[in-house]
Amino acid sequence: MRCISSEFYARPTVGVARDLLGNILVRLLRCGSSKIKRMSGIIVETEAYGFTNDPASHAYRGLTFRNSAMFGDVGRAYIYFTYGSQFCVNISARSSNVKAGAVLIRALQPLEGIEEMKAFRKTDDILALTSGPGKLSQALNINQSLNGYDVTDPNSELHVEYGFSPALIIETGRIGISRGTDKIWRFIIADKVRQGYLNKYASRKKI
């Protein structure tokens, strides 16, 4: 259970997106004075978002209050609210010569705290718990209050630990966007597609 350090995120965003597959997103839920509930999942789907080279990126038009986490230290959570009801989780990552960048966590395979996830999601369907960026945020009880959290700190309520190296990775264009669709910046663990850990919307798209 070792936390991934900040050097990992200080590399080109697209490579970080690919290399995050197979690692573990961990959510520590503080319930009461001393009790800590641990929830986690294997990262099975990611997308990279860049800067001025990427019209689909929130950072494309420059620094704003919302996207400031994409411009700050690498290895920080960038969490935003969208479509009126959903939160999306990103991790800031970029090489030192680039001003902004982040990796969107699109899907997990539930690992620990599955009963809690069922309660937060209001469903018992394992494959529906974290098979989408909005769903995984709901399952892990993640909201904007976690924006900017250091995911390289093992004591952080949201952090990433080492997992395994996937045998086969699928690369596709990003989905749910209208611009920048030519960039092959979406990454998926091949086995997890077959096992059903990606959402239906994602499966409908070309893989």
Partner DNA sequence: TCGATGATTGAG
Partner DNA sequence: TCAATCATCGAA
Nearer Cβ to DNA (95/154): 95
Per-position DSSP letters for 138-190, written without gaps between them: HHTT--GGGTT-BTT-TTSSEEEE-----S-EEEE--SS-SS-TTS--EEEEH
Q: Residue 83, interface with DNA (CB under 7 A)?
A: yes
Q: Residue 178, interface with DNA (CB under 7 A)?
A: yes
Nearest residue to 13 (alpha-carbon basis) of 87, 107, 61, 78: 78
> Measured from the CB of residue 159, what is the shortest distance to DNA in angstroms?
18
Give the other-Cβ count within 10 Å of 5's Cβ. 12
- Tokens 């086969």 correspond to 168
Give the other-Cβ count within 10 Å of 43's Cβ. 28
Query: What residues from 110 to 149 belong to the interface with DNA (CB under 7 A)?
Result: 121, 128, 132-136, 138, 144
Backbone torsions φ then ψ of 147, nearest 5 degrees: -60, 130
The token pair that represents 193 in the structure block: 């597609």
Residue 81: partners with Cβ closer than 8 Å, 6 or more residues away: 87, 144
Q: Residue 97, interface with DNA (CB under 7 A)?
A: no
Nearer Cβ to DNA (62/164): 62
**Total residues in contact with DNA, by rule CB under 7 A:** 42
The token pair that represents 33 in the structure block: 């004075």
Interface segment toward DNA; rule CB under 7 A; list 2-10, 16-24, 111-119, 168-176: 168-176
Query: What residues from 24 to 53 belong to the interface with DNA (CB under 7 A)?
Result: 47, 49
Q: Residue 75, interface with DNA (CB under 7 A)?
A: no
Q: Residue 155, interface with DNA (CB under 7 A)?
A: no
Nearer Cβ to DNA (35/204): 204
Task: Give the binding site for DNA (CB under 7 A).
Answer: 47, 49, 56-59, 61-62, 64-67, 70, 78, 80-86, 88, 90, 102, 104, 106, 121, 128, 132-136, 138, 144, 174-178, 199, 201
